[in-house]
Copies of this chain bind each other. A is one copy, B any other.
């Protein structure tokens, strides 16, 4: 293993993600020299002393090897280019699974939301993710209970690509009740973390993990979020990274949609209701744009104004004479007669024994 990769693997065990000071060091002197200085522990770097003492990167790499995880670093073919543009990129990524990370996230959407989701939210997360996966989009999420789990499962159900980004080491299933799901994702998709094997999923690591979910995808969709949901932190990161954000509405009586509604109200997210609208928001302009939802068209939709008035004046049940229609519509007899002719040709009205009535229309949809 080359020295840069080894140093980054070590840093991912010792230094918390998003440590601004160490980030500046890595950018300035490189990962190898940074690790040296962290080991030496001079000045403010003394705060890592306890962790440096416990550091055993060979053991971490052995653990990774046992679960088939590799270390991906900037410059690798598999490194997601998008991560170079976020404020503090990860030192490295620990990656489990058969897919190429860079290729997979090139066309990917983050689908995230509350752990305490409703049946409505989970169903939608699964449906949206399945639909996105079927259209060739990878679904990236955080493997949590609720929306995250449903999103991964929706993609897996249609043999789509899905990526779980964890807050702890890639070897430890978290939450543990998602062990089987994570095994399946590692077998068919990708399980990713920026912290070394053996690292516990601590609260601050969830927050930094969220920036990776937002940072490696083209855009983020929040399916259900209460006001305090961690997924709103993912939204914040997506906005900071300049990525589009969608939010799915729900009943205003459901507190698990309140966070989504507020993101929409405050114009941080666009309201989305379907796979098409998600792709319209996040995909390439033009290639992926969708038509706005429209009701099916009817023959009477595009009538000239006078024909609408005349049609309006013709009853369904008992027929009306031309004179009666003239009185009711307040148009001249010749105008009314011409309109009735056009309406008859469209199959909207029929004449019988000198009186006119509407013809029932078959409704499509």
Interface residues of chain A, those whose CB is within 8 Å of chain B, are: 14-16, 46-48, 50-51, 54, 120, 124, 202-204, 226-228, 248-253, 257-258, 261-262, 264-266, 270-274, 277, 292-295, 308-309, 312-313, 323, 326-328, 330-332, 335
Chain B residues positioned under 8 Å from A51 (CB to CB): 327, 330
- Cβ-defined contact, A227 with B312, below 8 A: no
Residues of B within 8 A of A15 (CB): 330
Copies in the complex: 2
- Tell me the minimal C-beta distance from A329 to chain B in angstroms: 9
Given A308-B203, A308-B204, A330-B51, does the pair A261, B251 have CB atoms closer than 8 Å? Answer: no
- Cβ-closest chain B residue relative to A272: B265
8 nearest CB pairs, A to B: A249-B249, A50-B327, A252-B273, A227-B295, A228-B295, A203-B312, A47-B332, A264-B271
12 A-B contacts (beta carbon < 8 Å): A46-B332, A48-B330, A50-B327, A120-B253, A124-B252, A202-B313, A249-B250, A249-B257, A252-B274, A258-B273, A258-B293, A261-B271
| Shortest beta-carbon distance from A127 to chain B in Å | 9
Please state if A249 and B261 are interface contacts (CB–CB under 8 Å): yes
Please state if B312 and A251 are interface contacts (CB–CB under 8 Å): no
Q: Is the CB of A294 within 8 A of B227?
A: yes
Does A50 lie within 8 Å of B326, measured CB to CB? yes
CA–CA, A18 and B204, complex, Å: 62
